Amino acid sequence: MTPLHHTAAQFINTTSGHIFLTGKAGTGKTTFLKSLGEITHKNFIVVAPTGIAALNAGGVTIHSQFLLPPANFIPGRNHHPGLHEDGVFVDQHLLARKHPLNAARRNVLRSIDLLVIDEVSMLRADLLDAVDYRMKSVRNNFRDNFGGVQVLFIGDLHQLPPVVKPDDWRVLSQYYKTPWFYEALALKDQPPVYIELDTIFRQKDDEFISILNHLRNNETTAADIERLNRQVRSAEEIRKLREVITLTTHNQKADEINLAELRALRTPSSRFEALIEGEFPGNMYPVLPQLELKIGAQIMFVRNDSSEDKAYFNGKLATVSDISDDDIHVSFDTGATYKLKREKWENKKYKLNEGSNDLEEEILGSFQQYPVKLAWAITVHKSQGLTFDRAIIDVGQAFAEGQVYVALSRLRSLDGLVLRTPIESHVIRTDKAVIAFAQTHHRPHDLESVMRERQKDFVAQLAEQTFDFTFILKQLSKLEHEWGAEALRESDSPSIFKSIRELITKEESNTWKFRQQLHHLIQARQEEQLLERLEKGSVYYKVLLAGQLRLLLTHEESLQDVKGVRGYMSDLSELDVMLDRKVIELERVTRLVRAVLAGDGKLDFSEIEKAHRLERMQWIAEIRKESAHVPVKPKRGRKSKKSGKGGPEEPSTQELSLQMFLKGLTIEQIAAERQLARSTIESHFAKLTELGRMQLSDFMSEDSIHEIEEAIKQLPEGHTMKDVFSLMKGKYGYGLIRAVMSMREAKGASFTVQKSEG
C-alpha cells in the first residue's frame, strides 16, 4: 500500500465523512477494495451499479440490495401523478409505498457503518439519491445523508460515463446539472473527501504515462497524437500478429471479429456448458453459459488464478492447444502450457446471522465455467479493469467521453500498442464537467487538515449517536401499536414492550444531560475527562440495555413453538438487532474515541464482538435451561392471513432420498432432482443416521465432522443447533450439524438437542 492508500484507510477508520477514492487506471483501487476487510474495523457491504461490476467487486447490485425498481428516481415526494403512470419515474412516495424493504434488508442496512459503492463512473446521481432516501428511512435518520452511514465511492470518472436516455434526461435535468454521481442532492451539504491515488503500477513508460495524463485531462497535444500514430500498422502486419487482442468501440464489431476468426479455424468445435445452481441471473454471467472452443482459438482469462499456481491473471491471453473430452489445454506466449480448470462465481446477498446478529453473506447461487472467453476482440467497455501486454486499438468510431483513454490505458507500454487506424483529435474527449470537478476537489495538501477536522466531527457524532435511544423507542411504539393485546394471545407481549420503553423513557432526561456534558467536554478539548465520562456512561447504559435485551431474548424463546406468529417474530428480530447493535456500540465507544483522538487508524474490535456473541449465547443457553423446568402451556398465535392455518407443511420422505443416494446420486443431485434445498436433503440424512439407516461417514468427510465437533465443544451446556450454526457463521447446514450432534449424543456426549430447533 502506498501512503495515499494508508491515508484512505485512516479516513475510513477515524472519520464518518464520505470518501471518493479515485485515481488513474492501474493505481490500485481494486486492490484496496479487495483488502478492505483486513483494513477496517467497520461493518460494511459492497454494492455496484451493474451485475458484472458487483460480481467483480465481490458485492451485490445497488438495485437488489436497496430493492430499487428499473426506473428513474425523482428526488422528493408527491410529484405530479401523471409523471409515474408508465413506471419510468418513481419518487420517494412511490418507492416507499410500492417497493417496501423487508425486515431482512432493513436489518442489514441498520447494521453497517460503511457503504462501499464500486465503479462509480457508471453511478447516476438519481440512483444515488434513491440510495440516500432508503438509508435515511430505514435508519429513521433524515438529519444526516445516508442515515448517518459513511459512504466510500471507488472509481475513475475519466473512464466511461453513466448511461441515461435522452427522453429520461429531459426530466432528470430539471434536478441535476449532469448525470454524474457527485451531482446527487445527497452530497450537496456533505461532499466526499477526494483522494486520488497517484502511484501507477500498470505502466512504467514515462512517455506513455505523460500521453495518458494529457488524454485524461483534455490536454492532448499534436505531438502526443503524432507519437501515438507511429504505432499504426498495416492490415498485413496485423494479420501476422499472434496472441494479440483488438479493442473496439461496439459490441457488434467485437462479436463479428470473434465469430469470423473462430469459423476460420479448420479444427472441430467443442462446447462446454456452465454448471449453474440456485439463483444466478443472466445479467451476471461472467462468461458465456455455453462456451464454444476450437484448437487454435485465442482466449483471454477473465479473472485471476485463485490457486497457489497464479498461472494466469485477468486479461492474460493464451491459445487453445488441445481439447480432449472435458480437458482443455492452452499455451502461453512463453511456450508454457496449462490445463484449464473450472472456476466458480457466486451470487450472494447480505444478511444477519439469526443467532449472533453478525453481518454475513448468503450464497444464493453459483456459476461454474472455464474462466475464459474468445479474445480476438473485446469492447473498450468490457476491457475496464484488464491489463494487456499488447493490443490492437480500433477507436476510430469512439462515441463516448473517455473511450480512447480507457482503451489506451489498458496497455503496459507504447511498445505494446498497435493501431489499426490513426487516432484523430476529434475522438479524444473527456467530459469538461469531470475535469472541473477534479480540479475543484483534488487538494492533496489539504488532506491532513481535513482529516483532523473530520475526526473531531466523528468524535462528536459518536458521543451523540451512541447515547441516542430514539430509534429504539420508535420501534417499541410501532410494536405496541401493531401488536396490541388482541394481536397475539400472549399476555406478556405488550408488557415487555412497555417495560423496555418505560425504562428507556425514565432515563431520557439524564441521557440528554449526559450527552450535553460530552458535547461540552469535546468543545473544551478536555480529552481525559471525556474518556472518563464515556467509560462510566457506556458501562451504565450497557448494563441497562443488556438487561432489556435478555428480557427480549426470553420472550423470543417463549414463542419458538408458537404457530402463526411469523410477522410478529420478524418485528421482534428488528428490535433485537437494534438493542444488540446498541450494546456493541456502547462496549466499544470509549476505545474507539481514544483511538481517534490519538490518530490511531488501526483498530480491531473483533475480540469485543466475539465476547459479546459468546455472552449472548450464554444468555440463550441459560434461558432455555430455566424454561425447561417450567411446565409448558399450549400456545396459540394468530392464524395465517393467507391460509388460515398455522404450522409447517408435511416434510418429504427420507426414504426416497435414501433410495436415490444408494443409486449413486450426490446430495446436490438429489436436491436438484427433487427440487428441494440441499439443507432439506441433509436433514433427511441426519434423521436416517439417527435411525441407524446410514452412517455419518457416508455423506460427510472426517474433516467436516471434526470441525463441527470442535465448535460444539466451545459452547456452554444447553446449546442448540442454532447456536452451533451461529458460531460457525453458517458454514454447515442444520442437517449436518444435527447429524453430528446425534452421533455425539449416541456416544454419551453431555448436551441436549432442543427439538424446537430441528
- The C-alpha atoms of residue 345 and residue 347 are separated, in whole angstroms, by 7
The radius of gyration of the chain's CA atoms, rounded to the nearest angstrom, is: 29
3-state secondary structure of 330: strand
**What does the pLDDT read at residue 83?**
59
The amino acid sitting at 184 is A
Which stretches of 599-677 are DSSP H helices? 606-627, 654-662, 667-674
Q: What is the DSSP string of 516-549?
A: HHHHHHHHTT-HHHHHHHHHHHHHHHHHHHHHHH
Specify whether the CB–CB gap between 588 and 608 falls below 8 A. Answer: yes
- The C-alpha atoms of residue 484 and residue 493 are separated, in whole angstroms, by 8
- The C-alpha atoms of residue 65 and residue 454 are separated, in whole angstroms, by 28
Residue keyed to cell 428488528: 574
- The C-alpha atoms of residue 29 and residue 8 are separated, in whole angstroms, by 11
Q: Which of 173, 177, 120 is nearest to 151 (CA)?
A: 120
Specify whether the CB–CB gap between 369 and 291 falls below 8 A. Answer: yes
For 264, counting Cβ atoms within 10 Å of its Cβ (0-12 exposed, 13-18 middle, 19+ buried), the class is: exposed
The pTM of this model reads 0.77
3-state secondary structure of 308: coil
Ranges of the chain with pLDDT below 50: 486-491, 631-652, 749-758
Specify whether the CB–CB gap between 183 and 175 falls below 8 A. Answer: no
List Cα–Cα distances, 241 to 108, 350, 757, in angstroms.
Answer: 52, 46, 64
Grid coordinates representing 542 are: 450497557
Backbone angles phi, psi at 264, to 5 degrees: -70, -20
Q: Which of 567, 485, 404, 601 is nearest to 1 (CA)?
A: 601
- The C-alpha atoms of residue 672 and residue 680 are separated, in whole angstroms, by 11
Residue keyed to cell 420503553: 501
Cβ-Cβ contacts under 8 Å for 464 (sequence gap 6 or more)? 515, 518, 519
Grid coordinates representing 213 are: 495524463
**What does the pLDDT read at residue 650?**
38
- The C-alpha atoms of residue 638 and residue 482 are separated, in whole angstroms, by 13
